[in-house]
Amino acid sequence: MGFLTLEHISHQYFTTSSYTKAIEDINLTIDEGEFVSFLGPSGCGKSTILSIVSGLITPTEGNVFVNGSPISKQSTSIGYMLQQDYLFPWKTIQQNVLLGPYIQRNVTQEIKEKAIHILEDMGLGNVVTAYPTQLSGGMRQRAALARTLITDPHIFLLDEPFSALDYQTKLKLENLVANTLKKYNKTSLLVTHDIGEAIAMSDRIYLLSANPGKIAATFQVPNHLKSLDPFDARQDADFNDLFQEIWKELNALEHNS
């Protein structure tokens, strides 16, 4: 059994007059430190899977295990990276990053040094005393990631975190975020509509079909692509082959849904 296991997960949303079967019989195992992505047509249940892993919703069927124990029976901490950075404009970047420890009344010298260290890792060592409005969108997203990393979550959920950024910033961030989460050995789940982003960041990609959402295909990303610069990776034959393969499957799914 891996670090995170979803076993026979199905979920239905009920309203007063009807119900929607959002996902059906999802089974997957993710090892500690792995990065996986979920791709699929709109409404195939990608966000529902993230909500179940985060504990926000309890699936109508099936079990989620972390390290072999049901997720409901332990305090698994979850980190999020979303489209919006939610930085506080009146606090400096360092103060924003220290927000979690501040709320927990745990701003020690050690934590302050850790904040600086993480900010340096994210290429933000020279803007620790700046305010969010002084930073570009990509820098703000990096600060938001640093703020989550300092709380040392077990699992990282990324829900289309780069969709508001320009193309060049997005490519650079994909690499930086994927490498940083690997360095800190975080188990990460990304929801995206962008095939290139999924290939650039992941160890493995799950393609979901809709109505209800099921795993239609699984793709392993060749290891050597991860060591390449994002621009170079996109020129690589393996990247293009995998892109074409996923594109065809996705089109077929969208056609049939």
Ligand X SMILES: Nc1ncnc2c1ncn2[C@@H]1O[C@H](COP(=O)(O)OP(=O)(O)OP(=O)(O)O)[C@@H](O)[C@H]1O
**Binding flag, residue 2, ligand X (CB under 6 A):** no
123 forms part of the interface with ligand X (CB under 6 A): no
The reply on whether position 20 binds ligand X by CB under 6 A is yes
Closest separation in Å from C-beta 208 to ligand X: 7
Question: Considering beta carbons, is residue 20 or 175 the nearer one to ligand X?
Answer: 20
**Residues with Cβ < 8 Å from 231, sequence gap 6 or more?**
171
Segment contacting ligand X (CB under 6 A): 42-50, 66-74, 76-84, 117-125?
A: 42-50
Residue 52 CA to residue 9 CA, distance in Å, equals: 9
Q: Is 142 in the site for ligand X (CB under 6 A)?
A: no
Q: Of the candidates 39, 44, 71, 144, which one interacts with ligand X according to CB under 6 A? A: 44
The residue among 22 and 139 lying less far from ligand X, judged by its C-beta, is: 22
Residue 207 or residue 221: which is nearer to ligand X going by CB? 207
- Does residue 169 bind ligand X (CB under 6 A)? no
- Report d(CA 14, CA 201) in Å as an integer: 35
Verify binding: residue 46, ligand X, rule CB under 6 A: yes
To the nearest whole angstrom, how small is the minimum distance from the Cβ of residue 62 to ligand X? 15
Smallest distance, Å, CB 88 to ligand X? 27
Counting contacts by CB under 6 A, is residue 18 touching ligand X?
A: no
> Is residue 60 a contact point for ligand X (CB under 6 A)?
no
User: Rule CB under 6 A: is residue 163 a binding residue for ligand X?
Assistant: no
User: Does 190 participate in binding ligand X (rule CB under 6 A)?
Assistant: no
Interaction site with ligand X (CB under 6 A): 13, 20, 22, 40, 42-48
